[in-house]
Structure 1
Amino acid sequence: MVSGDRNRSPAPEAVKSAPVSADELCIRTWLHNRGENTRRAYERDVRDLLAFAGKSLNEIVLPDLQAWFDSMGNASDATRRRKLSAVKSLLSYGAGTGVLSHDAGSAFRIARGRDTLHERILTREQVIALIDGEEEPRKRALLNVLYRMGLRISEACALRWRDLTRRQQGAVASVFGKGNKTRPVQVPAKLFKELMALRVDSGPDAPVIPGHDGCSLSKDAAHRVVKRAARRAGLSSRVSAHWLRHAHASHALDNNAPAHVVCATLGHASLATTTRYSHVREGDGSAKYLD
């Protein structure tokens, strides 16, 4: 043996991973690069269908989808249509990429449901009562962020001090939201002052709205804050954090804010989504412009 030579141990065998089923491959690739919240909701909807049908995706046929849709009779119309839309998207994707042999969802038409958005819009007085009834500064700041900035609950909980840039009047927040898109959102001077008064940790990664322990506020905890505030104000038990976002859009448009500005603030994908919040004011209507 030449000096320096050593007996070489045989190369370790490559770690064998469990084979991935066609269903798993289809679901994983379909969900790739989607936002965390969207990914979690879509996967839950698809798993629900698979558990109900007891079949693989490639074996799913139209009657399976119809039976699953009918089985959700206790769910709201919006929930049923949202779940079906997610499944139809997956089946279309699978057939388009060749992972599935057919698209069982193509023949299932989703009827347009009645627009009930108006039922989820609080009046200005109701929002003020909800916020003013909260005496704990940290929780009150959360309610103000949800309403005055129009943020989604996940966006409010994820907001860090590094995301805020001080301006002469208040600040501007860089909000990373739905669709993995970043948008600038104005922080009014009064709200910025309120947030600064809460700040304890000067680090850039400190949460703007901390939990009771100073760490990031969870979405579940934020949800409970809104629910309790609504209950104190004597509002419907259905009120959620998203209702404050609805109120932001509605009240801003009622006060003549340009629709494109509201659209950009809320991060809507299209102006059509924003204009759903426009209301016909009392005494106004197209008929009066005919004479």
Structure 2
Amino acid sequence: MAKRVASKSSNISDDERLMQLWLHGVSQNTVKAYRRDMEAFRSWVVKPLVEVTLDDLQNWYTSLDGADATRRRKLASVKSGLAFGTRVRLLPVDVGAALRLERERDTLNERILLEEDVLRMIDREQSPRKRACLRVLYLLGLRISEMCALTWRNMTRRQQGGIASVFGKGGKTRSVPVPAKLWKELMALRVDNRPDTPVVPGHDGGKLSLSAAHRLVKRAAGRAGLPDSVSAHWLRHANASHALDNGAPAHVVQATLGHASLATTTRYSHVREGDGTGNYLKG
């Protein structure tokens, strides 16, 4: 009879086993973010997750410093992990299910740049490589992690421009058209023909890091006289908002950005100044 090999999981704690099962198959960036939040919570409660109570969760949330959105994100991470533990019966009860917060005010409109602001950011960038980075974030509506991970293996040439195969949030792949002018700019940056060459390279021709891309956007925003809070994700917001304002169908914007719900996409629709339902009614 074949000898049974002991499972590696037998040497880890129940909490670590829960973490590994919970984060299995999700993106590397999601793993880092969720694990960081859950580890911070575990360090605070100083007890196994199986012993965590609703009081623990409430008191931890109250103790958190920082912006409300950041605190809510941390809570959402921990609640997700606890709910998963309950579903796979590693935890007896989902204590996070009883902790509900009032819905925060929608501030999306505060993070949408005008078209002239975005164009000023791009025009004032003198480096072709950095300008291409800004244009990819804006014209393709990519998340910063999606842009940094994009290689020429993911790019397909078309008669006019091309198609980028983007591996995005939730492990989903979507096809994003690349305008002809942007394709030409990206081709000019290509240093060799290997398929794993990054589409938007770093200063040394290798992969562009998330931190370097973040700094690049911040500096471009500063040169354009825009707020310090501007980030790469603001360019993704601008993509959706400006496309809808210019007549793009909502389902096209949804497919391009990879929104799971059309309701997410339509949040970017805006009422034009002086426009209202009365303009469409007789009377």
- TM-score range relative to shorter protein: over 0.9
Identity of aligned residues (%): 63
Counting only pairs closer than 5 Å after superposition, residues 253-272 of structure 1 correspond to structure 2 as 253-272=244-263
In the TM superposition, residue 41 of structure 1 has moved relative to its aligned partner by 0.8
Pick aligned residue for 2:43 from 48, 51, 61: 51
- Quick one: structure 1 residues 17 and 106, their matched pair in 2 at CA, closer, same or farther if it must change by over 3 Å? closer
Counting only pairs closer than 5 Å after superposition, residues 1-291 of structure 1 correspond to structure 2 as 19-72=11-64, 74-289=65-280, 291=283
Counterpart secondary structure, 1:106: helix
CA-atom RMSD in angstroms: 1.8
Q: Distance in 1 between matches of 2:8 and 2:74?
A: 35
Counterpart secondary structure, 2:163: strand
Counterpart secondary structure, 1:87: helix
CA contact (8 A) 2:121 2:221 kept: yes
List per-residue Cα deviations over 1:122-163 (Å, max 9, x = no partner). Answer: 000100111111001100100000000101111111111121
Q: Distance in 2 between matches of 1:208 and 1:237?
A: 27
Q: Which amino acid aligns with 1:177?
A: G
Counterpart secondary structure, 1:111: coil
In the TM superposition, residue 16 of structure 1 has moved relative to its aligned partner by 8.0
In the TM superposition, residue 64 of structure 1 has moved relative to its aligned partner by 1.1
Name stretches of at least 5 consecutive residues in structure 2 with no aligned partner. none
Q: Which amino acid aligns with 2:181?
A: K
Provide the TM-score with structure 2 as the length reference: 0.94
- Aligned residues between the structures: 279
Provide the TM-score with structure 1 as the length reference: 0.92
- Quick one: structure 1 residues 284 and 55, their matched pair in 2 at CA, closer, same or farther if it must change by over 3 Å? same
Counterpart secondary structure, 1:207: coil
In the TM superposition, residue 52 of structure 1 has moved relative to its aligned partner by 1.3
Q: Distance in 2 between matches of 1:203 and 1:26?
A: 39
- Quick one: structure 1 residues 241 and 170, their matched pair in 2 at CA, closer, same or farther if it must change by over 3 Å? same
Q: Distance in 1 between matches of 2:19 and 2:276?
A: 48
CA contact (8 A) 2:165 2:176 kept: yes
Q: Distance in 1 between matches of 2:95 and 2:109?
A: 34
In the TM superposition, residue 208 of structure 1 has moved relative to its aligned partner by 0.8
